[in-house]
Amino acid sequence: GLQAGIVGLPNVGKSTLFNALSNAKAVAANFPFCTIEPNIGVITVPDERLIALEKIVNPQRVVPATVEIVDIAGLVKGASKGEGLGNQFLGNIRATDAIIHVLRCFEDDNIIHVDGNVNPVRDKEIIDTELQLKDLEGIDKKISKNEKLSKTGDKEFLHGLDLLKQLKAFMEQGKNARGFEVSPEDKEKHFADLFLLTMKPVIYVCNVDEKSVVGGNNHSEAVKEAVKNEKAETLLISASIESEIAVMESFEDRQLFLEDMGLHESGVARLITSTYRLLNLATYFTAGVQEVRAWTITKGMLAPQAAGVIHTDFEKGFIRAEVIKYTDFIKYGSEAACRDNGKLAVQGKDYLVEDGDIMHFRFNV
């Protein structure tokens, strides 16, 4: 499944946010390294279309799409050199599709800051530097390996080597790989095998005190300014508000509490929506009497790959897909009516699946 990793220095509020995000319980304690093992939680992606499909199909069950969230604790200065179990944590980040970078923007004298005072821009740079050093290690290895190979005359090979050197020079200025301008084709061909940590999409979460959750504070403003040239989003969230909301049973209570704080939507809900957008995800549906279900794909997936999200056998044995657009399904009210009105398209293996498609796969076993 698709996975986002929560990173940040110790004691910035990662576990608190993670707990609010998932049903899994990690210990939130005023102690660095309280979460040694990576904690994985699963988030349901809210989607109103599922409710509409349920009304029409009346299935036995409805299964929403999910995104996995991993709480990656223990990143500290020196992690890329193995400090504080650093390498293990960096490996955990490598496995994720996107990064949620939590920054401490709240003052609280009772909560120890590992570097003495609250300064989210410095904190961000500490984490970034570790990730960059790790990336540079990989880039250097590939450069020296390829230089030995030196396929003289192979234009594509030399182009790749040149790009690697450019990326290296770029990152040596303390920049993240995601800011490096490169075509999607080159990126896929020459960088994908490196699984660069700083190339992953990122959301910066400014963990602010309850009073600052609407307007922000000087810390969150400093973060915004520092990241304005990065391809990244920033969100204002108060992890402590989120943890209070997370334990409220009734929707009305939650809504009242949020409105008291001047909010319309919980930070968790905003974070899920942003993560979904950040990961460049789309949803297709299967709609049978047994099950109406949302499936998560990456934008740009072709029909066989999308089928593979359900089962690898669906991808291997793919024959064709019958596709109904969501709006047609709602308009005509059933698969049969869509078929009768020419709204059921038979698509082959080159079909680019679109958000909202209702798919029925035909495959060989």
Region for residue 302 given its phi and psi (left: phi exceeds 0; alpha: psi -120 to 50; beta: otherwise):
beta
Tokens of 351: 């079909």
Query: Which of residues 21 and 324 has its CB atom nearest to ligand GDP in the complex?
Result: 21
* Residue 219 binds ligand GDP, judged by CB under 6 A: no
Among the listed residues 4, 7, 13, 171, the single contact to ligand GDP using CB under 6 A: 13
> Residue 364, CB half-sphere, CA atoms under 13 Å: how many?
3
Question: For the chain, how many residues are written?
Answer: 365
* Residue 10 binds ligand GDP, judged by CB under 6 A: yes
Instruction: Map residue 348 onto helix, strand or coil.
Output: coil
Residues 254-273 that bind ligand GDP (CB under 6 A): none
DSSP string, 21-50: HSSS-----SSTT---SPEEEEEE---HHH
In the complex, minimum distance from the CB of residue 91 to ligand GDP, in angstroms, rounded to a whole number: 19
**Dihedral Cα 254, 257, 261, 264, nearest 10 deg:** 40
What is the contact mask toward ligand GDP in residues 85 to 114, using x (rule: CB under 6 A)? ---------------------x-x--x---
* Residue 41 binds ligand GDP, judged by CB under 6 A: no
In the complex, minimum distance from the CB of residue 265 to ligand GDP, in angstroms, rounded to a whole number: 18
Query: Which of residues 38 and 308 has its CB atom nearest to ligand GDP in the complex?
Result: 38
In the complex, minimum distance from the CB of residue 276 to ligand GDP, in angstroms, rounded to a whole number: 23
Beta-strand (E) ranges in the chain? Answer: 3-7, 39-44, 61-63, 66-71, 98-104, 202-207, 232-237, 281-287, 291-298, 318-324, 345-347, 358-363
Amino acid at the residue 150: S
Pairwise CA distance, residues 215 & 234, whole Å: 13
- Counting Cβ atoms within 10 Å, is residue 167 exposed (0-12), middle (13-18) or buried (19+)? buried
* Residue 211 binds ligand GDP, judged by CB under 6 A: no
* Residue 16 binds ligand GDP, judged by CB under 6 A: yes
| Closest listed residue to residue 208, CA positions, set 195, 227, 221 | 221
* Residue 240 binds ligand GDP, judged by CB under 6 A: yes
Which region, judged by CB under 6 A, interacts with ligand GDP, from 30-38, 82-90, 116-124, 173-181? 30-38
In the complex, minimum distance from the CB of residue 15 to ligand GDP, in angstroms, rounded to a whole number: 3
* Residue 207 binds ligand GDP, judged by CB under 6 A: yes
* Residue 120 binds ligand GDP, judged by CB under 6 A: no
Pairwise CA distance, residues 39 & 17, whole Å: 12
The reply, when asked if residue 343 is annotated as ligand binding, is no
* Residue 38 binds ligand GDP, judged by CB under 6 A: no
* Residue 283 binds ligand GDP, judged by CB under 6 A: no
Instruction: With CB under 6 A as the rule, give the number of residues binding ligand GDP.
Output: 22
User: Could you list the residues that contact ligand GDP (CB under 6 A)?
Assistant: 8, 10-16, 28-30, 34-35, 73, 106, 108, 111, 207, 209, 238-240
